[in-house]
């Protein structure tokens, strides 16, 4: 089931077509779909197709000499059962090199974005 859902993932398919969130990345999904659960349970409500609706995307708009964003983990939190969604969390390591910060070659748009 997971392979079929992943192959038909709307966000990834639209990104590949160049229609949404260009320049953003997502770590590989290694967890079960996070939607649509019967609240208070771990059972999918099969009136809707299970899907990954809660996502963490990231982009780095900085010279690698100045900043580097390293993805560490990406996972669902199955223990929370109060909603029809399971929350998703991600961890990153941000390394910043201050000696390159004032080199004059960074645009005002430089930085990291995590959505």
Q: Can you tell me the distance from the alpha carbon of 115 to that of 20, in angstroms, rounded to the nearest whole number?
A: 13
Can you give the pLDDT at residue 96?
A: 83
Can you give the pLDDT at residue 36?
A: 93
Can you give the pLDDT at residue 99?
A: 67
Q: Can you tell me the distance from the alpha carbon of 52 to that of 6, in angstroms, rounded to the nearest whole number?
A: 9
Judge whether 56 and 100 are in contact, CB under 8 Å. no
Looking up tokens 């260009």 gives 22
Can you give the pLDDT at residue 109?
A: 52
Element holding 73 (H helix, E strand): strand 67-76
Percent of the chain with pLDDT over 70: 85
Can you give the pLDDT at residue 107?
A: 47
pTM of the model: 0.79
Q: Can you tell me the distance from the alpha carbon of 81 to that of 86, in angstroms, rounded to the nearest whole number?
A: 7
Average pLDDT, the chain: 87
């Amino acid at each position: 089931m997971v392979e079929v859902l992943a192959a038909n993932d709307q966000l990834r398919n639209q990104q590949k077509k160049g229609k949404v969130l260009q320049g953003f990345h997502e770590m590989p999904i290694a967890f079960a779909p996070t939607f649509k659960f019967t609240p208070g349970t771990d059972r999918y409500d099969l009136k809707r197709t299970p899907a990954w609706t809660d996502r963490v995307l990231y982009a780095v708009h900085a010279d690698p000499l100045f900043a580097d964003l390293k993805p560490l983990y990406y996972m669902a939190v199955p223990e929370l059962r109060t909603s029809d969604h399971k929350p998703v969390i991600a961890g990153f390591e941000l390394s910043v090199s201050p000696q390159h910060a004032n080199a004059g070659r960074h645009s005002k748009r430089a930085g990291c974005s995590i959505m």
